[in-house]
Amino acid sequence: MKFCANVIGKDLIELFIHTSGTISKLARVFVLHVFQDSLCFRPDDSRVICDARVWCEVRRGDFFHRFHVEDVSEELKEIYLELTSEHLFRTASSIGNASTLKPQLTNKWRPHLTVSVELPLPTGWTPVVILIFDGPIRVLPPTAWEDFPEPGVEACDVSVNLLSLKTLKSSVERIANLGDQMLVEANLNGKMNLSIETDAVSIKSYFNNLGNPPKSAQDMPQDRNLENMVQVLVESRKLLQFFEGQQINPVTALCNVLSNTLLHLVLVHEDVSLQCFIPAS
């Protein structure tokens, strides 16, 4: 199997750096699904640090200036690579001020991912190419691809906008260490509460006037009380780790609650979407 690609442009390379930095903090081992027009990062569920399903997608038609895959089939112009977060973080943190990023699959004693960068130089100078990573990886065969589907999104009971992730992250950080479990509540009137209650302490943070996505209100019965809170109890460390790890500075952020079942967080920044599915504890 052969794979090589070029990513050209500072904005696209920075997009790769920020996305990689986020994923490297959420999983020890993950699968990178590479298409012509997108990248999908999917942690291996059996080894996810926070035991929550995470899905991150970078979808941009011009992400790759060059994209070439061989030895799969004419129809399957894609590849699945299993990487460790250590390898990804090392690669992303070494890119620096590169003008071109060149990932390539090479075969030595086992498949290796070789990543090099081209540094910007004055016109007329010979380009300088620096190898920043060359490490063993696992190439997943097509028979294993069905084990890594995009996670399905269940219909939620309440969805609220998250207008200030910085404030929310600060609140989660302040109270997460006070108890193992955190209660997340939200309603159709744009309110959300975070609380922890133990034998020693009881603390609650209130968020008002967040607003609800239009579709959230449209899908609800007309006679439903907008003030009724829908809640889910989750492990504090899972929620904390998600907010500490994400680096994509979203323009849209949503908190979806499926009563006593699931907390679904969605962050979107232009071409990047990050979803985290935290089950009830």
Question: Looking at residue 69, what is its pLDDT?
Answer: 79
> Average pLDDT of 148-175?
87
Is the confidence at residue 49, as pLDDT, over 70? no
Length of the chain: 281
Residues 173-231 have pLDDT tens digits of 999 999 999 999 999 999 999 999 999 999 999 999 999 998 655 556 666 788 999 99
Residue 11 or 188, more confident:
188
Q: Among the residues of the chain, which ranges form H helices?
A: 10-24, 85-93, 165-176, 214-218, 236-245
Q: Does 3.10.20.310 match the CATH number of domain 2-147?
A: no
**Partners of 262 in the β-ladder:** 258, 279
Q: What pTM value is reported for the model?
A: 0.85
Share of the chain above pLDDT 90, in %: 31
CA proximity to 175, closest of 151, 149, 206:
206
Residues 252-275 have pLDDT tens digits of 999 999 999 999 999 998 788 999
Distance CA 49, CA 90 (A): 19
Question: Highest mean pLDDT: which of 28-32, 35-39, 144-148, 181-185?
Answer: 181-185
Distance CA 222, CA 82 (A): 47
For the chain, give every residue range classified as CATH 3.70.10.10: 2-147, 158-279
Residues ≥6 apart with Cβ < 8 Å to 60: 12, 15, 37, 38, 271
Highest CATH level, class, for 158-279: alpha beta
Amino acid at 73: S
Residues ≥6 apart with Cβ < 8 Å to 45: 53
Share of the chain above pLDDT 70, in %: 91
Q: Are 157 and 212 in contact (CB under 8 A)?
A: no
